[in-house]
Structure 1
Amino acid sequence: MLRTFCAWLILCFGLSGCAFNSVFVNYPSQIASYKQQLSSETPTANITDLAGNISGNDGLLYAQESGRIMQIAGDFTRSKTYYQQAIDAYQVFDDKATVSASKLGAGASSILLNDNAIPYRGPGYERIMLHQYQALNYLFSGDAQGALVEVRRSNELQSMEQARYQQSQKSVQDMANGTINSQMAQLSKDAGSVTSSFLNAYSYYTTGLLHELASEPNDAFIDYRKAAQITPDNVFLQQDLVRLAKQLNMPQYDEFKRRWGDAVLPTPEQGQVVFIVERDFVPEKQSITVPFPINGNLQSASLATYQAQRQLVNNSQIQGLGAPLTAQTIANIDALAINALKEDLPAALFRQAARVYAKYQMNRSVQSSGQGGNNPIDAGAIVMQLFNVITEQADRRSWLTLPRQAQIARQFIDAGNYNIRLNNSQSVKIEVKPQRSTLIWVIETGNRTRFYSIII
């Protein structure tokens, strides 16, 4: 029996392929050094090492991380290439017509190892943000039409991911577990007012903004309104809706004006500045121990969760445009991540229960085969215990270079050059042209703030 078990072990390791690292080394520790570099002057120093993992089982995740790192560094061309690899990987997941040997192998190894052996397919919010960020890559590379293609795809995915989630929940059994119920309640509390992972006001706002910058105000109005339904208290969103309703002579104008005040329209000598501010990093998943009773014996397993997060400081202050301009939150990406985990917990619990039972049966078989031997220390039982300890790893994979929070601000100002700064950052020069829009994308990573601007 011991030989059979060892053969199974070798087979699982072989079939898990490039997922090996995540099986035994938690993902946050693998990506930690790359996140630290984003606070330095050389954010892409080891990017080839990270991108070298794109061909593996978790290639989609590494492609997303690589694309985001290059994007934060301002290399939109290389970022676009990595993001496209991630987009292609999602397409492979969508195409279920062909079941490859690697998928079969990952399924077999995950039964005995852990969920890290399953090829990574990001949750819905990650895929939506992937297309949103690819759209910004196109925009800042001077390809407005390419940007529109990506934001339309982002919108389609919001509906598709919602339908996929609802369908998946129908096939998941309700499994009573006190630890999980407690975690679900805590995650709901931490997520605040955000109730789903696939409705993202930041993505809707970005889509609306790009439609407006492309002189498609009707489409912009639709997406701004969707964003406002998710984040109703954002004053800049409210003013965008009033302004567009007024410009387009929409019947909603009177209602919006009564609720939020009249819109401020620019003079011919003015342009507008639009700020997108991204702050901090999404939190890392942590591990919790979940008990499973089997035949009167208590077995334990590991599942991922999020710990309560510290509150971010007040909204960002933008200086240099005359009176200070205060950005307002459009989305908390950490709340989307928490909801994504909460939505996946029932299925993860089902897989983990099956895995615990399989390990329990293997442990019994190994112990039974060792009975009656002359050796007082049963080698098979020892190997089995070591195997259980080593492989009991929660799936802590997620896109960790995403921002924790996104904020927006908008203002019409006289044309000219301005030196602006965000909070305590260095000042940077921007230009505002009459009847044009200056889009400023601000990314805070640790102690470093980067500004990227484009006039449209």
Structure 2
Amino acid sequence: MLVSLLLLTGCGLSTTSQLGNFSSLYARGLYLEAEKAAMDSKQELSEIEGGDGLLLCLNAASAALAAGEYRRAVDLLDRAEALSGDADLEGALSKTGGAAAEILVNRNVLGYEPRQYDRIFMNSYKALAFLAMGDADNARVELNRAFDRQRRAVEFFEAEIAKARDAGARRQAGSSSNSSLDTQRIAQASRAQAERMADEEHWKPYPDYVNPFATYLNGLFFLLAGQDSGDLDKALNSLRRVRGMVGDNPYLEQDIALAEAWIDGSGNRRTTEPTVWVIFENGLAPDLAQARFNLPLFVVNARMPVKYFAVAFPALQPGRPALSNLGLASGGVPIAETAPLADVGRVVGAEYKVRLPYELTMAALSAASKAMLQYGAQQAGGGKGTAAGQAASAIMALYTAVTTTADTRSWTSLPTDAQLARLSRPADGRLAITTTEGRVLRTLTLPEARFCLIHVRMPTAGAEPACAIIPFQEVLN
């Protein structure tokens, strides 16, 4: 068991180091270097398999997208999506061997399990990459997939809630059948600790667990690249849905008014003034940190000699914005600022809240099982009063200490929030990206297109903003 543990720990440390190197480069705006750090450039994508391969693909794709390597980003996201299918299969199998491994070792020995928001961002980012390459047809496919994933997310969350109830029932059954360890009390103590550490104000989900970023991107695409009245209806429905989640956003109201005018015939693409949309992905997403604490032995059972007893679970940490918002200027004159579009922290936090009861139950079962291993090893060695019994118990206590580790893996290169701006195209075709104080971060030359989307990604205040400039159909004349 200890030899296996050392091998698994070595693999985990290697991935942790790789992701740490990636995060450092990405945060500094060194996007190409970050992509190379996340993935071995000599390795074929088809060779990347389970474990943390999915997580490495996701982070590498974020960096490739920011670096303007759009084809590479699509390939990485395609591979990530294929690996996500494997994760679905693993999830079905985890009721047997996977669950046992999670209890007897920890969740890190299993492959990274993608979140629902991971899947939605996969398709949304592929759509952005295709748009940047001028491939509207494939962008349409990916946006439809993202929309369908959001519809199915509700079913997933209902299943997760049921899963947590089943785990709770299993925990109670274990408590009633085993008088030596009270896993019910262990789980209650864990929950109390989790509530002291967490900020539930950031857990409030959007209605039906919808992601406003993906929904807005869907609406804007069908507005600007739509082919018929049906596409305009899709655009209007998506934009109105975002309004119901976001509330007061003047740019969103202008988009809705534009869609309504085009639908009722009071306006059309040719008569609409040249316009620029800016979507700003700000900062770094909320991530997970380990919350680990020792429980007093009276919570377990004062009569049971245990040398080490602890519980570890993932605790959600707030996202880190790069800027409060983004400024836009022309000829040195400020003309617009971005306004809130989507709080990714709420998207991440809502899913975390749904999963937390299951996480805590599994952490309690794991702690109780390892305590039983310590006691069993001691008894097998001859009992508390023998040197062999004490040595066996000490070895299992060491095993418990090393393996009591929470799963803190997540797609950390997502933003903490997304913001929106909408403005008339500057007459000279040049647009400055600035801070709200007026410091110029980057100056862009816009294409000769009636409509243009600028996707800005800025992970930290010190990073240069990555900008994708995406023209739509109509050419200026």
Distance 1:98 1:313 in 2: 41
- Provide the residue aligned with 1:84 in structure 2: 78
Structure 1 unaligned blocks of 5 or more: 1-7, 251-262
Aligned 8 A contact 2:58 2:76 in 1: yes
Q: Tell me which of 352, 373, 392 is aligned to 1:362.
A: 373
- Provide the residue aligned with 1:302 in structure 2: 312
Deviation at residue 413 of structure 1 after TM alignment:
3.2
- Provide the residue aligned with 1:260 in structure 2: none
Q: Tell me which of 273, 276, 279 is aligned to 1:276.
A: 279
Q: In 2 relative to 1, CA 164–34 (structure 1 residues): closer, same or farther, beyond 3 Å?
A: same
Deviation at residue 310 of structure 1 after TM alignment:
6.9
Q: Partner amino acid for 1:43? A: Y
Secondary structure of the 1:276 match is: strand
Q: CA RMSD in A?
A: 3.3
Q: In 2 relative to 1, CA 13–157 (structure 1 residues): closer, same or farther, beyond 3 Å?
A: farther
Q: Tell me which of 17, 38, 41 is aligned to 2:26.
A: 38
Distance 1:197 1:9 in 2: 45
Q: Partner amino acid for 2:357? A: P
Distance 1:335 1:170 in 2: 22
- Provide the residue aligned with 2:210 in structure 1: 199
Aligned 8 A contact 1:191 1:336 in 2: no
Deviation at residue 222 of structure 1 after TM alignment:
1.1
Aligned 8 A contact 2:322 2:459 in 1: no
Structure 2 unaligned blocks of 5 or more: 169-183, 473-477
Aligned 8 A contact 1:197 1:336 in 2: no
Deviation at residue 359 of structure 1 after TM alignment:
0.8
Q: In 2 relative to 1, CA 309–80 (structure 1 residues): closer, same or farther, beyond 3 Å?
A: closer
320-329 vs 265-274, greater mean Cα deviation: 265-274
Distance 1:97 1:326 in 2: 43
- Provide the residue aligned with 2:452 in structure 1: 438
Deviation at residue 158 of structure 1 after TM alignment:
0.7
148-157 vs 225-234, greater mean Cα deviation: 225-234
Q: Is the counterpart of residue 218 in structure 1 residue 269 in structure 2? A: no
Secondary structure of the 1:278 match is: strand
Q: How does 1:38-187 map to 2 (within 5 A)?
A: 38-40=26-28, 42-45=30-33, 47-52=35-40, 54-95=48-89, 106-173=98-165, 177-181=188-192, 183-184=194-195, 187=198
Deviation at residue 304 of structure 1 after TM alignment:
0.9
Secondary structure of the 1:120 match is: coil
Aligned 8 A contact 1:50 1:66 in 2: yes
- For residues 14-53 of structure 1, the C-alpha deviation after alignment (integer angstroms, 9 at most, x for no partner) is 7x6xx8644x6894x6523212212557433364452249
Aligned 8 A contact 2:34 2:60 in 1: no
Q: Is the counterpart of residue 402 in structure 1 residue 414 in structure 2? A: yes
Q: Partner amino acid for 1:303? A: F
Residue-pair matches, total? 429
Distance 1:413 1:48 in 2: 36
Distance 2:197 2:244 in 1: 25
Q: Partner amino acid for 2:443? A: V
Q: In 2 relative to 1, CA 226–196 (structure 1 residues): closer, same or farther, beyond 3 Å?
A: closer
Deviation at residue 242 of structure 1 after TM alignment:
2.1
Q: Partner amino acid for 1:171? A: K
Deviation at residue 403 of structure 1 after TM alignment:
1.0
Q: Partner amino acid for 2:468? A: Y
Distance 1:269 1:205 in 2: 20
Secondary structure of the 1:403 match is: coil
Q: Partner amino acid for 1:122? A: P
Identity of aligned residues (%): 21
Distance 1:286 1:209 in 2: 36
Deviation at residue 286 of structure 1 after TM alignment:
1.6
Aligned 8 A contact 1:26 1:393 in 2: no
Deviation at residue 334 of structure 1 after TM alignment:
2.1
- Provide the residue aligned with 2:245 in structure 1: 230
Q: Is the counterpart of residue 429 in structure 1 residue 444 in structure 2? A: yes
